[in-house]
Amino acid sequence: MRRFNKTDKKGFTLIEIMLVVAIIVILASVGFMSIGDTIANAKRNESLQESKFQVRAQSHNDSVRRNMLSGTPHRVAAASTSAGA
């Protein structure tokens, strides 16, 4: 029968593998939590920008409507007229 010496050791022990898996799980959970926070912040910022855009668009539409009712011609923005040139 063959005896195993410390020099014959091949592979990893169960404890070593469990430690590596535990470390990976901890790192992954921290990463997922920070990604979740980042996604939540991005969605909140996107919603805020959309709200600001809608307020500006409504304000612009109200301005155009008032000008049309008062008989004042509506001026077209310079950026849209120079795009065709």
- Segment 41-58 shows an average pLDDT of 90
Does pLDDT of 14 surpass 90?
Answer: yes
For residue 31, pLDDT beyond 50: yes
Cα four-point dihedral sign 42, 48, 54, 56: negative
Lookup: tokens for 35: 């990604």
The residue-averaged pLDDT of 10-39 equals 91
H-helix segments, the chain: 14-70, 78-82
- Note the pLDDT tens digit of each residue in 61-75: 888 888 877 776 656
To the nearest whole number, what is the mean pLDDT of the chain? 80
| pTM for the structure as a whole | 0.43
**Per-residue confidence (pLDDT) for residue 13, from 0 to 100:** 92
